[in-house]
Amino acid sequence: MTRRLTALWRTNMAALSLTAEAQSVITLRTLGMLGLWNTGPTENQRMISEKTDAFAKSARASAAALARGARPDQIALAALKPLRQKTRPNLARLTKAGPKLP
């Protein structure tokens, strides 16, 4: 029972972390489009192109976990890992860029 609760907790925390990181990245990119946050000139293109790669990797990872006979929490974590590998560095990069000050 404890093992299942730990697995559920870990999966939920990974999903919540992804959600928080993604929302923060969306906010910073929107501020960049409004001219209030420093973003690079290729940020809009990056925003589109990275999604297809991340979702394809996520689909492959979850399919591979399913084919191995992994538990549902392991399949979910496998699907979340490639997505977090994009959101985490994006958030760090955009946060580091900082606001545009007059």
pLDDT tens per residue across span 59-92: 999 999 999 999 999 999 999 999 999 999 999 9
Distances in whole angstroms, Cα of residue 77 to Cα of each of 24, 51, 65, 70, 73: 21, 18, 9, 10, 6
Contacts of 73 (CB under 8 A, 6+ apart): 7, 8, 10, 11
Sheet strands (E) in 1-102: none
pLDDT tens per residue across span 5-37: 899 999 999 999 999 999 999 999 999 999 999
Look up the pTM and report it.
0.90
List beta partners, residue 99: 37
| DSSP reduced 3-state for 101 | coil
